Amino acid sequence: MSHDTYELKAEAREQVGKGSARAVRRNGKVPAVIYGDKQPPLAIALTYKDIYYKIHGGGFLTTIATIDVDGKKIQVLPKDFQLDPVKDFPVHVDFLRIGKDTEVNVDVPVHFINEDKSPGIKRGGVLNIVRHEVEFHCPANAIPEFITVDLTGADIGDSIHISAVTLPAGVKPVISDRDFTIATIAGSSAMKPETEETVEAAAPEAAAPAAEEK
Give the domain CATH number at 120. 2.170.120.20
Has residue 26 been placed in a domain? Answer: yes
Whether residue 131 is predicted with pLDDT greater than 70 in this model: the reply is yes
Predicted confidence at residue 148, as pLDDT, reads 95
Is residue 47 domain-shared with residue 131, that is, in the same domain?
A: no
Predicted confidence at residue 88, as pLDDT, reads 85
| Local structure of 162: helix, strand or coil | helix
Has residue 53 been placed in a domain? Answer: yes
Has residue 210 been placed in a domain? Answer: no
| Contact present, 111 and 149 (Cβ < 8 Å) | yes
Is residue 118 domain-shared with residue 64, that is, in the same domain?
A: no
User: Cα separation of 195 and 37, whole Å?
Assistant: 62
Has residue 208 been placed in a domain? Answer: no
Is residue 88 domain-shared with residue 161, that is, in the same domain?
A: no
Cβ burial, residue 166 (10 Å; 0-12/13-18/19+): exposed
Give the domain CATH number at 47. 2.40.240.10
Is residue 114 domain-shared with residue 172, that is, in the same domain?
A: yes
Is residue 47 domain-shared with residue 11, that is, in the same domain?
A: yes
Closest to 82 (Cα-Cα) out of 10, 21, 38: 21
Is residue 67 domain-shared with residue 109, that is, in the same domain?
A: no
| Contact present, 43 and 19 (Cβ < 8 Å) | no
Split into its structural domains, the chain has a count of 2
User: Cα separation of 166 and 147, whole Å?
Assistant: 8
| Local structure of 55: helix, strand or coil | helix
Is residue 63 domain-shared with residue 93, that is, in the same domain?
A: yes
Whether residue 160 is predicted with pLDDT greater than 90 in this model: the reply is yes
Whether residue 196 is predicted with pLDDT greater than 90 in this model: the reply is no
Is residue 50 domain-shared with residue 95, that is, in the same domain?
A: yes
Structural domain containing residue 79:
6-99
Has residue 79 been placed in a domain? Answer: yes
Instruction: Tell me which of 52, 82, 99 is where a domain ends.
Output: 99
Whether residue 184 is predicted with pLDDT greater than 50 in this model: the reply is yes
Query: What pLDDT digit, counting tens, does each position of 18-63 carry?
Result: 667 788 888 889 999 999 988 999 999 999 999 999 998 888 999 9
Has residue 192 been placed in a domain? Answer: no
Instruction: Tell me which of 99, 115, 135 is where a domain ends.
Output: 99
Q: Give the mean pLDDT of the chain.
A: 86
Query: What pLDDT digit, counting tens, does each position of 103-120 carry?
Result: 999 999 999 999 999 999
Q: Band of the pLDDT at 206, cuts 50, 70, 90?
A: very low
Q: What is the pTM of this model?
A: 0.73
Has residue 206 been placed in a domain? Answer: no
Has residue 124 been placed in a domain? Answer: yes
Instruction: Tell me which of 83, 99, 115 is where a domain ends.
Output: 99
